[in-house]
Amino acid sequence: MGEEMGITRTGIIEALTRERALTLQGAPFTVNSAEWADEFIVLSMKPGAARKKVPLDEGLEGGRIRWGRELEFGGIIKLVDVDNDRVVVQPLEGAAPKEGETAWVFLNDFLGPLIEMWQGPMADRAAKALKQSKLDVDPIQEIRPLPPDFANLRKRQIEAVQNTAYRCSIVIGPPGTGKSYTIGAIAAYLLRRFPKARILVVGPTNVAVDTAILSIDDWLQRIGRHDLAAQMKRIGAHFDPRKYVDRPHLLAPGIAEKVNEYLVLEASEPPKAKIADYVKWKGRMDAARQNLSADIETTAASARVVGVTVATAVRWHHCLQNPRFPFVLCDEASQVLGPAAMMMAALGAQTIFAGDPQQLSPIARSDSAAVRGALTRTAFDVFAHVKTARLNEQSRMAQAICHIVGTTFYGGDLLVCKKASRDEGWRASRSPFFVNGREVPRVCFDPVHEEATFSAKYGGFIRFESAKLVLAALDELAGSYVDAKDIVVLTPYRAQVALLRSMLRRDHGQVNVSTVHRAQGSERTLVIFDPVDASSTFFNGTEGDRIINVAISRAKAHVVIPYHANDLKKPAMKQMHGIAAKLWQTAGNYAEPFTFR
């Protein structure tokens, strides 16, 4: 399959097996504090010393956590509060960990079930799906004009909907271009056009799946198809229940509770050395799996739209094939490992991949170039030959920010949509900021003279002078031009996050400070991006470009970037700085508005 791209079944299995060996080792986290909240333990944690640190994000939800001298205590991670570096643990046995103690997190074994898929008959189906996507160069259904209900779609959004007539299609949605809106339109159109159509909606995270499902529901309500909306079901244990308070029709009765029971049982796995206990546990697991399998299979077979994470689709793929889904819609496909993306195509007859290959890519922990190459190649690489719609009209970023992002990362093919640019309310919400009577540049590069240094206190690289400039900018802008809750401070370094939070806690405690990886999919009026050291190897190549792109493109009205001359060694930073200089750093303009002591 795809040998011309270096894709072979043996190579994929080998890469997945080597990567899985790393994930099963567990990841250390240092406990800062622990307190009880009803029957749960709330742990404040940070990644501990490890060759490859695992980020504290929602990908840990459902995973096992153990602590104690012999890891005799533990539980299951129910919730990750990414903004405050906290996890909520449902304990299974033992006391809470102590401050300074190391807790080991064992990630969900997504790769084990994926390896099993590649070792079984699904591998042949994946190969066939890839081959058919190359052979079927013509649409397999008639391409029709869209009904009047879809008149608000832009030209390329319409193209994306019509491309679903092909065996496989791609929707590339740069920031602010309405990708989620388009996904909702695609699903609503397919459900209405094909009376027997069923759609499997998948994504790499629960947030991605929730966003897609809610967008589809919005579209079905908008076109008056409440009957179809009632036939959508969100399956899984870790979706955000707050998003479904007013949409109970999207949840299958009892599924979430039973999935949760299964995960709790899975997390209580005893050591294999305790043979009797392990055998009894294995028997309970088999019974729970069979019971849950029946519920998922029944729900999936009867619903018109089913929403699950990619990990859930892999683990329960046998429950999602009777009958087979005519359509599979994979959102945020840039974050899905290539072998998993190929299996998503194998689950259906026609596939739509949506996302942005210029944004964050899947993470592989292995140092092996061969393993990383096999796993981090995404659907946009494997299926690059298929019909593709590139959305290019965005309504998030003000004109100047859009120009810099579009020129640097999208070859100039990113524009402010005409409807937004004519809207007085849209323009007013993106009005310029002023300091001492002078307009602040929309993308404001403000220099610092201190280079990044390693901090033993914060456990990583920091730049204290950058943090002082961030504080100065917030003193000028927060509350005066923008509400604190509509500001985000982003940096790729966790140590700098800790430094910034400590400095902002007194006067700007409501301002969100986050790593860039946690910000994808969000937006704020003001973004302050502190690269700390854009010249480091961490920023090398396209991965570094993606980090910068994600950070800058969250902004609606203004971006502030503290920078050192070394940061401009990164080509993308140099290009953005050059464009900004031409636009604002001329005589009489206010290029460096923020000062500090």
The pair of structure tokens assigned to 300 is: 């999936």
pLDDT tens, position by position, 391-407: 999 999 999 999 999 99
244 vs 582: which has the higher pLDDT: 582
Q: Hey, what's the torsion of the CAs at 321, 327, 332, 335, to 10 degrees? A: 40
Q: Which of 15-24, 43-52, 466-475, 544-553 comes out lowest in average pLDDT?
A: 43-52
Q: What was the pLDDT predicted at 554?
A: 96
Write down the pLDDT at residue 6: 57
Residues 148 and 98 in one domain: no
Residue-level pLDDT at 458: 84
pLDDT tens across 192-219, in order? 999 999 999 999 988 899 999 999 999 9
Question: Do residue 71 and residue 218 come from a single domain?
Answer: no
Residue 257 included in any domain: no
Nearest-CA neighbor of 48 among 494, 372, 489, 490? 494
> What digits encode the pLDDT tens for the residues 550-581?
999 999 999 999 999 999 999 999 999 999 99
Which residue type sits at 11? G
Chain-wide mean pLDDT for the chain?
89
State which amino acid sits at residue 258. Answer: K
Sequence letter at residue 328: V
* pLDDT (0 to 100) of residue 588: 60
Burial class (CB in 10 A: 0-12, 13-18, 19+), 145: exposed
Residue range 472-509, pLDDT digits in tens: 999 999 988 999 999 999 999 988 998 999 999 999 99
Please, which pLDDT band fits residue 409 given cuts at 50, 70 and 90? very high
Residues 148, 342: Cα–Cα separation, whole Å? 35
Residue 585 confidence (pLDDT):
72
For residue 40, what pLDDT is reported? 87
Query: Is the pLDDT higher at 12 or at 363?
Result: 12
Q: Count of H helices and E strands in the chain?
A: 20, 24
Q: Once rounded to an integer, what is the mean pLDDT over residues 419-439?
A: 92
291-301: per-residue pLDDT in tens?
655 578 888 88
Q: Are 77 and 63 in contact (CB under 8 A)?
A: yes
Q: Write out the E strands in 7-155.
A: 27-37, 40-47, 64-67, 73-81, 86-93, 102-106
d(CA 506, CA 380): 45
Within this chain, do residues 385 and 524 fall inside the same structural domain, yes or no? Answer: no
Q: How far is it between the farthest Cα atoms of the chain?
A: 80
**Residue 20 forms part of a structural domain:** no
* % of residues, the chain, pLDDT over 90: 63
- pLDDT > 70 in the chain, percent: 93
Which amino acid, residue 334? S
User: How far is 410 from 175, CA to CA, in rounded Å?
Assistant: 11
Of the ranges 243-247, 531-535, 550-554, which one carries the lowest mean pLDDT score?
243-247
Residue 278: per-residue pLDDT: 67
Question: In this structure, how many other beta carbons lie within 10 angstroms of the beta carbon of residue 513?
Answer: 26
Q: Is pLDDT at 228 greater than 60 in this prediction?
A: yes
3-state SS assignment for residue 526: strand
Say yes or no: 415 and 378 in one domain. no
Contact 415, 393 (CB under 8 A): yes
CATH of the domain at 150: 3.40.50.300
**Stretch 38-47: mean pLDDT, rounded?**
88
pLDDT at 189: 98
Checking if the pLDDT of 519 tops 50, the result is yes
Of 339, 365, 391, which marks where a domain is finished?
A: 391
Decide if pLDDT at 4 tops 50: no
pLDDT tens profile 66-75: 999 888 898 8
- If asked whether residues 148 and 78 sit together in one domain, one would say no
Per-residue pLDDT tens over the stretch 45-61: 988 877 667 777 777 88
Considering the domain architecture, whether residues 440 and 553 belong to the same structural domain is answered as yes
Q: Is the pLDDT of residue 241 over 90?
A: no
Q: Do 318 and 433 fall into the same domain?
A: no
Q: Using CA atoms, how far apart are residues 226 and 241, in angstroms rounded to an integer? A: 21
State pLDDT tens for residues 271-289.
766 766 766 787 787 777 6
Q: Which of 305-309, 362-366, 379-383, 479-483 has the lowest mean pLDDT?
A: 362-366
Question: How many other CB atoms are there within 10 angstroms of residue 124's CB atom?
Answer: 12
Residue 159 has what pLDDT? 98
Q: What is the pLDDT of residues 167-189, one digit of tens each?
A: 999 999 999 999 999 999 999 99
> Per-residue pLDDT for 360 more than 90?
no
Beta bridge partners of 168: 351
Last residue of a domain, one of 79, 108, 137: 108
CATH number of the domain encompassing residue 55: 2.40.10
Residues 192 and 332 in one domain: yes
What are phi and psi for residue 228, nearest 5 degrees?
A: -75, -35
Domain range for 38 is 25-108
Residue 350 has φ and ψ, to the nearest 5°, of: -130, 145
Residue 535 has pLDDT above 70, yes or no: yes
Asked whether residue 288 is assigned to any structural domain, the reply reads no
What 3-state DSSP class applies to 147?
A: coil
Residues 26 and 41: their CA atoms lie apart, in Å, by 20
| Statement to judge: residues 93 and 226 lie in one domain | no
In a domain, 17, yes or no: no
User: 297 or 151: which carries more pLDDT confidence?
Assistant: 151
For residues 422 and 383, state if they share a domain. no
Q: What is the pLDDT of residue 237?
A: 65
Residue with tokens 């973004």: 527
- pLDDT band at 587; cut points 50, 70, 90: low
CA dist list (Å): 317 to 195, 310, 334, 341, 580: 24, 10, 21, 13, 49
| Number of independent structural domains in the chain | 3
**Residue 321 domain-assigned (yes or no):** yes
- The pTM for the full model equals 0.85
At residue 252, the pLDDT reads 79
Note whether 431 and 561 are same-domain residues. yes
How much is the pLDDT for 584?
Answer: 83
CA gap 30, 24 in Å, rounded: 19
Q: Please give the Cα distance from 210 to 434 (Å, whole number).
A: 38
The answer to whether residue 323 is domain-embedded is yes
| DSSP conformation class of 59 | G
Please check whether residue 5 lies inside any domain of the structure.
Answer: no
Cis peptide leading into 323, omega within 30 of 0?
yes
Assigned domain for 350 exists: yes
> What is the structure's pLDDT at 279?
67
221 and 363 inside one domain: yes
Q: Could you give the C-alpha distances from 475 to 431, 543, 595, 596, in angstroms and in order? A: 19, 32, 10, 10
Compute the half-sphere exposure of residue 585: CA atoms within 13 Å on the CB side of its CA.
14
End-of-domain residue from the set 391, 422, 441: 391
